[in-house]
Amino acid sequence: MSQQHTIRRIVAAVGAGAVVVALAGCSTPAAPAAEEPPPGVTDDTVTIGTHTPLTGPAAAGYSSISAAASAYFAYLNDKGGVHGRSIEYIVKDDGYNPANTLTVVRELVQEDDVFAILNGLGTPTHTAVLDFLNENKVPDLFVASGSTSWNQPEEYPYTFGFNADYVVEGAALAAHAKAEHPGKAVCLLGQDDDFGDEMIEGAELALGADGLAHIERYSTSNQDVTAQIGALKAAGCEINILATINGFTALALGTAAQLGWFPQWFSSSSGADYPTLVGYLGEEVGPQLLQGFTGTNYLPALGGDDEWVTLFRAINDEYGEGAAFDGNTIYGMSVAHLFAEALYAAGEDPTRESLLDAVTSGDLAGNGILPLSFSADSHAAYTGVGITVVDQGVQDYTGPTYAVEDGAVVEVEPAPVPLEGEGVPGA
């Protein structure tokens, strides 16, 4: 605060005191104070931010998510923004390191005065800021992780997930393996945190408590899974469910190939993006190793001809600064569109409270293959997933859609959300 500003405040206070003394015998009520706008909101802009790995072990593939969201926001701003406000999106690199995440998120909230945090990426990383964001009453929207931690409305009222949770994904992959390949030994390789824990929980919903023939875990701090892959091979695993990020999915397939072992691979959507995996494995061997690769998804599929995919390709071409178009591009633009939809529903003068009310209203549509599940009692986005398979380089839906209902895995009918208004809420 400047010295001149401080002097003005003192003079104003003295003047106000003099008026009070002079009018001591009067009882005129004071005018109500004007309500200040929430952090990050001006007449022309809404500022939001995110933490994401632009460097480090999770950067490949995932770094393109925030770039895709930025491209969508540029497109939206050129269309007039939301209620006349442009969205300013601040992206900060945390290197997929929880200590860095806490530092950059504190900067976003305390220095950049963001209105909300959007799509903070990673289970271990976002866990590090969960309490901080809720204690400071910052909307923590659409976390880029399938951990069930984000769906705790009573403990974390400001936090909402985006991904289908890992229990659902694990259950869907295991149910599909059981239905399509009865009698085969199903195993699991998983990250050593909630990601792996909850994928195991889901798989056991479908296969029973002893249904997984073997389980191996890994840490993202050690980029060598030779021991784990060797153990899975020795256990006679025929189908391996992967609770892995993209880099470790490729590492698992590549290590197995070096050992001359070619089982079937079933992956969470978090590590199943075909172009990203080919980028890791190389154009020469990647397409061969990924033929028949099975995954989950809940958004428009990269290999499909969905109207959303067509729109997002066009946005990427114009605003993506030469970025490749892949499943992570679709993911980033889908998240950005959902935020725009929530902001529009929050009203012409949005507050943090009206933004949360918009999300829990049950009126948001999103662009998934199933309806969103947000409500006052649920902070989960998608509670079901479809099965995708890679065939000759095309990754598209080919199998059934699964959900978890009342602790059981069930097949459900997909209900894709149609594109409206050129992907601009309120248009």
Query: Per-residue DSSP letters for 125-165?
Result: HHHTTHHHHHHTT--EEEEBS--GGG--TTT-TTEEE-SPP
Q: What is the pLDDT of residues 250-292, one digit of tens each?
A: 999 999 999 999 999 999 999 999 999 999 999 999 999 999 9
Give the SS3 label for residue 292.
coil
CA angle 184, 186, 189 (to 5 degrees): 155
Q: Name the band, by pLDDT with cuts 50, 70 and 90, for residue 37.
A: confident
Q: Where in the chain is the domain with CATH 3.40.50.2300?
A: 45-164+304-382, 167-297
Q: 41 vs 46, 88, 225, 245, 426, CA distance in Å?
A: 5, 10, 47, 35, 19
Residue 70, pLDDT above cutoff 60: yes
Residue 95, pLDDT above cutoff 60: yes
Sheet containing 394-405, strands listed edge to edge, beginning at the edge strand earlier in sequence: 214-218, 186-191, 239-243, 264-267, 294-297, 384-391, 394-405, 408-412
Q: What's the CA gap between 294 and 269, in Å, rounded?
A: 10
Q: What pLDDT, on the 0 to 100 scale, is given for residue 2? A: 38
Q: Give the residue, 402 or 32, on which the prediction is more confident.
A: 402
Q: What pLDDT, on the 0 to 100 scale, is given for residue 61? A: 78
Average pLDDT of span 96-100: 96
Q: 141 vs 134, 229, 319, 420, CA distance in Å?
A: 11, 36, 24, 23
CA contacts within 13 A on the Cβ side of 212 = 23
Residue 411, pLDDT above cutoff 60: yes
- For the chain, the average pLDDT equals 91
Q: What pLDDT, on the 0 to 100 scale, is given for residue 105? A: 98
Q: Name the band, by pLDDT with cuts 50, 70 and 90, for residue 388.
A: very high
Cβ-count burial 12-48 (b if 16+ within 10 Å, e if not)? eeeeeeeeeeeeeeeeeeeeeeeeeebbbbeeeebbb
Q: What pLDDT, on the 0 to 100 scale, is given for residue 32? A: 44
CA angle 371, 377, 380 (to 5 degrees): 45
Q: What pLDDT, on the 0 to 100 scale, is given for residue 126? A: 97
Written as six digits, the tokens of 24 are 């001591």
Average pLDDT of span 298-315: 95
Domain 167-297 architecture: 3-Layer(aba) Sandwich (3.40)
Q: Name the band, by pLDDT with cuts 50, 70 and 90, for residue 60.
A: confident
Residue 18, pLDDT above cutoff 90: no
The answer to whether 243 touches 168, Cβ cutoff 8 Å, is: no
Q: What pLDDT, on the 0 to 100 scale, is given for residue 195? A: 95
CATH number of 45-164+304-382: 3.40.50.2300
The answer to whether 356 touches 347, Cβ cutoff 8 Å, is: no
Using a pLDDT cut of 90, give the percent of the chain over it: 88
- Kind plus residue range of the DSSP H or E element containing 168: helix 166-180
Q: What pLDDT, on the 0 to 100 scale, is given for residue 6? A: 35
Residue 185's φ and ψ, nearest 5 degrees, are -75, 115
Which pTM value belongs to this model? Answer: 0.88
